[in-house]
Chain A
Amino acid sequence: MIASPPHSAKSTSGNRTMVNDHILRMLETIAGQGNVSTQSTDLLTHAYDATRQKFLPDVVVHVENTEQVSRIVRLANTKKIPILPRGAGSGFTGGSLPVRGGIVLVLTRMNRILEIDTDNLITVVEPGVVTGRLQAEVEKLGLFYPPDPASKDFSTLGGNIAECAGGPRCVKYGVTRDYVLGLEVVLPSGDIIHTGGRTMKNVVGYDLTRLFVGSEGTLGVVTRIILRLLPRPESRKTMLVAFASIDGAARAVSTIIQGKIIPTTLEFMDASAIDCVRRTASLDLPAACRAVLIIEVDGEETALDRQVGNIGELIASLDVLATSIAATTAESEAIWQVRRSVSASLRSLNPDKFNEDIVVPRSKVPEMIHALEAIAARYGVAIVNFGHAGDGNIHVNVMVDLAEIGMRETVDQVLDEIFRATVHLGGSVSGEHGIGTAKAPFIAMELDPATLACMQTIKKALDPNNIMNPGKIFPESADEHRLSASRP
C-alpha cells in the first residue's frame, strides 16, 4: 500500500471512499479481476502524463471492448465517480490526469486495426492503436494516414482524436479532424452512439463527429474510429534553408504560401533554438545563421525538383545564407534530426520549461516572432521558438529557473503577455496540444462569454453529473489550474 502521499503528488480533491469495495467488485465483474487494480504500483503509474504533474486515481481499469466501457461508465455515472479515458498518457496539457481521483480507464489494450478497406480508402480501428503502427500498416498497402504528431510512435489514435493532434505534415494535409469520418462513442450515460459513417459525404443530422474530435475526453469515450486514407505520395524531397535573420525566415513562410505552393512541411527554428542544438551537437550551419526553415515537398518524383527550384527562387532575396537539399534518405533524415533534437537540447539552457503551443494566422508569423522577442527582452527571460511555421503554429518555450526569486510571478506575466499578443493577432492559445488543465486559465482570453457558455451547455447536457474527465478545459477551481512547469 502507499505508505505516504507521493512526493509532489497533489492530493486529489475527490473523496477517496467513493470507490468502495462494492464498486470494485462490480468493476471486476465487468472487466475481469486482473484488469482492475487499486495496487499502489498501478495508481502511481497512472498518475502522470507528459506534463509531469501527478494526481493519484482511485482505481485503474484496463478495458478490452466497448461493452465493458459502456457498463463501467454507466456504473460511474450512477455513483458519480470521475472517469478518466487514457491512451498513452503523452498529453502535454494534463488531459489524462485524474485531478479529482476516480477511475482511470486505460484503452491501450483496445488496439486492433479492424479493417483497411483499399477500395474505399478507409480504415476502422480501436482507440488504443498507436498512430505510427497504423501508418506503417497502411503504407504497406500504398496508402497514407497523414497526421504525424511528433509523438506518433507512442501516442494512440484515441488520444489524437481527443486532442485533435497535428504535426509537421499538417501544412499540406490538415490535422486529425480532417481524417475522421465516423466514431463510436460511449456517452457519460453509458449509451453507445455512432457518429458519421464510412462515406466521404454525410449530412444526416448534426456533425457530432466534429464535436467529439478535440473534446479531450470530456464528452465521452471513443471506442471505435473510422478514418479516411489517401494514396501514399510517390516521393518526397527535403531542404534546409539557413537565414541571416528571423525576419527573413518568417517572411519566407508567407512568401511561399502566397506563391501558391503548399509544401508538406514548413518547420522553423529561431536563433535560440539553433544555439541550443549547437550546444549538444555539431551543426553544419553558417555562423551568421539566425533562423532555419526545413521545407519538405512530396508528390510525383518528377515534379519535386521543379517545386524545390520554385521555392528557392521565391525566397532567394530574403536573407538566405545557405540552402542544402537532401539527395538521399539519409541526408533527409539528418536534416530532420536537427529539428527533432531541439526539444531535448532545451535542458542545456535552464531547468524549467513552459511549453506553449500558440497558433496565429500564417501571415502574422513575423509579427508574432517580433512580439515574442520583445517580451523576452522586456522580462529578461529566454524564449526559444520553433515549430510548424507553415500553419502558424509556434512552439514557444519559456526557459527559466524557478528557483530564482520572483521567477514564478515573472513567468505568469510573460505567459499572459504571450497569449494576449497571440489573441490580438487573431490567433489561438493552443494549436494542437489542447487545453486540459494547463491552458484552462487562458481559455476565456480567447473565447467570448457566449461561446464559452455554449460549450458548457453542451457539456452539461451530455454529462449532467460531470463525471467525464472533470476539471478539464473549463476553468472550474483555481487550485486545479495552477500553472506548472515541466523540466525538459
Chain B
Amino acid sequence: MTVSSSLADLRHHIDQCVRCGACQAHCPVYLETCRESSVARGKIALAEAVLNGAVDLEDRLRQEAGLCLLCGSCAAKCPNQVPADALVAALRERITAARGLSSLGRGVALFTGSQRLLRGLLRSANLFSSLFFTKIPTQSGLRLRFSPAALKERVVPALARHTLFDRLPEFLPGDEDKPVLGVFAGCALTYLYPATGEAMVRLLNRLGYPVALPRSQGCCGMPALATGNQRLVGQLTAANTAAFKSNGTKTIITACATCHGMLADQPVIHGSPGGASVQDIHVFLVQAGLVDTLATLPAAPRRIRVTYHDPCHLRNRGITREPRALLQALPGVELIEMEGAGLCCGMGGTFTAAHPELSRAIGDRKLAGLQATRASVIASSCPGCVLQLQDIITRADLPVKVVHTLDLIDQAMSGEGPA
C-alpha cells in the first residue's frame, strides 16, 4: 500500500473518485454493514469533508474511519485506481495527529518497539494473561492484534517456547553462485508460528540459497499504520532498512501477506528495506522451479482434500496462482477450490481487535464455501489469515485443520505425510 504521511498530499486521489459505487461489491465491511459510510466511496467523501473543513474529527467520524480493514480490495478493483486504503490510513493519521493515539494505538506503539520485551514476555507468559499485554515489546504488531478485547473467547495458538530467532542462526550459507536472500519474518512468524518461519528459511536454504535472517529486523509497520501512527511506521522502516542493508541482499522474501503488502510498496515513500525488492515466497518458489521439483516427489499413499484461502494482501496484488500451483503439485494433496476463496477473513491487522464482532461476522461468510468443499485442511499464505481462520473454524466446530501453505510444502519435502 502507498504510505503517505498526509491526507492533503492525497487530495488528487480524492478527486479521482467518480462516486460510481463499484467498491461496494468488494468491501468486506460494507458487505456486512450495508452502510455507505463503511465503503471506500463513503470514506472518501468523509476524507474530502475533513480536508474541506466541512466536518470535525468528531467521535462518529473516528469510528467510521476505524471501520476499514485496510485490505485494499476496493483499490484493486476501482475502475479509477483510487487508493482508498491509503486515504483511510492518511485520515487516521490526521485523527491521531489531532487527537492523539487511541488506547489501541498506544498499545501498538508500546509493543512494536522492543524485541527484548516481546521475547521475554512470550517465554514466560500465558497468552491469555493480561500480563502479556502489559509486557509485550512496543514495536510488535502482536500487541495490537491481541488486545484484551480481541482475545476474549478468541482461539489463539499455543505459544512457541522458542522464537524463530532462537531456532535459527542469523546467516545460513548456501551455494556460492546463488544470491543471498533476506528473510523478513514479521511478528507472527517470529513469535506465534516460528515453525512455519523455520520451514520458510529451510526451504530456501534447501534450494541452495544462502539466507540472511537479520536479528535487528522488526515489525513491518502495518499495525502502526492502521492506528494512524505514521511516525512509528517511519521508525520501523528505518530500522528494517538498516537491518537488511548490512548484508547486501537484493531480494527480501516474506511469507506473510500483510508484511508483503506493507513492504512491497514502500519504495514509493520510504525506500524498501535496504533498497532490495520484496517478494512473496510463493512467487519466488514458483519462479525457482519448485513446482517441477515437487512433481518428482514419490506418490503419496493417500491424498487429503485441501482448500486454499486467498489473503487480501496477496489477492489484491494478483498473487493467486502461485500458492495454488504449489499446493497442486504436492503429491499428498487434492486441491479443491472453495466458493468465496477470496472473501476476507476479517483479520485486518488491528481491525479484529477494535471490532471483534464485525470481524467475526466478516470471517463467518467463509463458512458456507469451506463446508461445501468437504476439505479436511484449509491452507493460506498469511499467518494472520491462519490465525483468524482458526478462530472461525473452532467457533463453528468444524473438523478442519488450518495451516500455512509452507507447512504443507515443508512436510512433503521432508518426506512426512501431509497434515
Q: Please report A residues at the B interface, Cβ cutoff 8 Å.
A: 1-7, 9, 39-42, 44-52, 62, 88-90, 106, 108-109, 111, 128, 130, 132, 151, 153-155, 343-344, 347, 486-488
Contact = CB atoms under 8 A, between A and B. Distances in A.
Contacts of A486: 18-19
Given A3-B53, A488-B18, A111 B24 contact: no
A155 B21 CA distance: 8
Interface string B41-64: 110011011001111101011001
A154 B58 contact: no
B46 A108 contact: no
B22 A151 contact: yes
28 contacts: A2-B55, A3-B55, A5-B54, A6-B48, A6-B52, A6-B55, A7-B48, A40-B60, A41-B37, A41-B46, A41-B55, A41-B61, A41-B64, A42-B36, A44-B46, A44-B54, A44-B55, A45-B46, A52-B18, A88-B21, A88-B24, A89-B36, A90-B20, A106-B36, A130-B24, A154-B21, A154-B22, A347-B80
A106 B61 CA distance: 20
Nearest to B20: A50
B231 to A, nearest CB: 26
Given A46-B36, A108-B34, A39 B48 contact: no
A159 B22 CA distance: 15
B15 interface: yes
A488 B41 CA distance: 15
Nearest to A133: B25
B53 A45 contact: no
Given A3-B55, A7-B54, A48 B19 contact: yes
A88 B54 CA distance: 24
A111 B34 contact: yes
B173 interface: no
A48 B21 CA distance: 10
A4 B18 contact: no
B289 interface: no
B79 interface: yes
A49 B19 contact: yes
B52 A7 contact: yes
A449 B79 CA distance: 41
Contact of A52 (B19, B34, B46, B55): B19
B37 A45 contact: yes
Nearest to A52: B19
Interface of B: 15, 18-25, 34-37, 41-42, 45-46, 48-49, 52-56, 58, 60-61, 64, 79-80
Nearest to B44: A45
A52 B21 CA distance: 11
Contacts of A89: 21, 36
Of the candidates A2, A42, A44, A90, the one having the most CB atoms from chain B within 10 angstroms of its own CB is A44
Of the candidates A48, A88, A151, A344, the one having the most CB atoms from chain B within 10 angstroms of its own CB is A88
Of the candidates B34, B53, B61, the one having the most CB atoms from chain A within 10 angstroms of its own CB is B34
A39 B35 CA distance: 13
A2 B54 contact: yes
Nearest to A91: B21
Nearest to A130: B25
B60 A50 contact: no
B19 A40 contact: no
Contacts of B55: 2-3, 6, 40-41, 44
B20 A42 contact: no
Nearest to B81: A344
Contacts of A106: 34-36
Contacts of A344: 79-80
B15 A45 contact: no
Given A45-B41, A45-B45, A49-B19, 8 more contacts: A7-B54, A41-B58, A47-B45, A52-B19, A106-B35, A108-B34, A154-B23, A488-B18
A6 B24 contact: no
A50 B19 contact: yes
Of the candidates B22, B25, B49, B58, the one having the most CB atoms from chain A within 10 angstroms of its own CB is B49
Contacts of A3: 53-56
A486 B209 CA distance: 54
Given A41-B60, A45-B42, A154 B24 contact: yes
Contact of B49 (A44, A108, A111): A44
Contacts of A40: 49, 55, 58, 60-61
Contact of B15 (A153, A155, A487): A487
A233 B181 CA distance: 52
Contacts of A4: 53-54
A45 B45 CA distance: 6
A185 B159 CA distance: 58
List the 3 shortest-distance A-B pairs measured between CB atoms, nearest first.
A45-B42, A153-B25, A108-B34
Contacts of B56: 1, 3
Given A41-B60, A343-B79, A487-B15, A6 B54 contact: yes
Given A4-B53, A44-B49, A344-B79, A128 B34 contact: yes
Nearest to B31: A130
Nearest to A344: B79
Contacts of B36: 42, 45-46, 89, 106
B22 A62 contact: no
Nearest to B35: A62
Contacts of B18: 50, 52, 486-488
Nearest to B15: A487
Contacts of A41: 37, 46, 55, 58, 60-61, 64
A48 B45 contact: yes
A153 B37 CA distance: 19
Contacts of A343: 79
Nearest to B22: A154
Contacts of B58: 1, 40-41
Contacts of B24: 88, 130, 154
A372 B75 CA distance: 35
Nearest to B52: A7
Contacts of A45: 36-37, 41-42, 45-46
Contacts of A88: 21, 24
Nearest to B39: A45
Contacts of B49: 6-7, 40, 44
B355 to A, nearest CB: 15
A220 to B, nearest CB: 22
A7 B49 CA distance: 7
B63 to A, nearest CB: 8
B334 to A, nearest CB: 23
A49 to B, nearest CB: 7
A109 B33 CA distance: 8
B110 to A, nearest CB: 30
Given A40-B58, A50-B20, A62 B25 contact: no
Contacts of B52: 6-7
Nearest to A87: B21
A250 B414 CA distance: 65
A486 B79 CA distance: 15
Nearest to B61: A41
A428 to B, nearest CB: 24
Contacts of A44: 45-46, 49, 54-55
A106 B36 CA distance: 9
A475 B382 CA distance: 56
Nearest to A128: B34
A109 B34 CA distance: 6
B302 to A, nearest CB: 31
B25 A154 contact: yes
